Amino acid sequence: MDSWASRYILEELTANHDGGVRSFYFYKPADEDKLYCGPVWDYDYTFGVGIGLSNPKVLYYQNTKTAWSHTDYALYPRLTEVDGFMERVRQIYAETYRPLIDVLLGEAASDGTENGLKSIQEEGAAISASWTMNFKRWHHLTNGTIEGHYSTQEKSNAYLENFLRERVEYLDSLWLE
């Protein structure tokens, strides 16, 4: 159940437009009877960027009809009804995700290693050249037509940090209080 609870947290935290609908994979090891959720990928429409999921104060699974499809995908609503699932979500969120979020928001120190998690601001500085090259290739993203993308990296980082702060405040009110 942990892989499913963790994936659900990640989808909610990022407000992933495709979460549980597209780009969603799971696997079953040959020597086990359990189905696991993963790996994660395709997070381009997240954190309120594009396609109308810019409100950080709604649960994603309540919006199971997406802009890509008129089909109702009921995976997460069904999982939230499984005995113990939401209790496990709250526990994993509090013990695993919340401390990492504090690092991302600059409210806790990173572990100081080269490959360790860094704050949004620190990571932004580290990928500055890549950010510039990305928007040379995908220049249409900086013209303001897709919500969340801005003409400078500083504005993009500020948008991401603000969205994440609002999202976490909302999820904390549901899962920690």
Q: What is the pLDDT of residues 39-62, one digit of tens each?
A: 888 887 788 776 666 788 888 776
Q: b or e along 107-129 (b: 16 or more beta carbons within 10 Å of the residue's beta carbon)? A: eeeeeeeeeeebbbeeebeeeee
- Could you report the per-residue pLDDT of 10-26, keeping only the tens digit for each? 989 998 877 777 777 88
Higher per-residue pLDDT: 117 or 110: 117
Provide Rg for the chain, Cα atoms: 17
CB of 67 within 8 A of CB of 17?
yes
Residue 63 has pLDDT above 70, yes or no: no
d(CA 170, CA 172): 5
Mean pLDDT of 138-155: 67
E strand spans, 16-65 = 26-27, 36-37
Tokens for 136, please give them: 């040379």
Give the pLDDT band (50/70/90) at residue 68.
very low
Mean pLDDT of 123-150: 74
Q: Which domain holds residue 171?
A: 2-175
Domain count, the chain: 1
Find which of 19-23, 62-66, 97-101 is predicted with most confidence, using mean pLDDT: 97-101
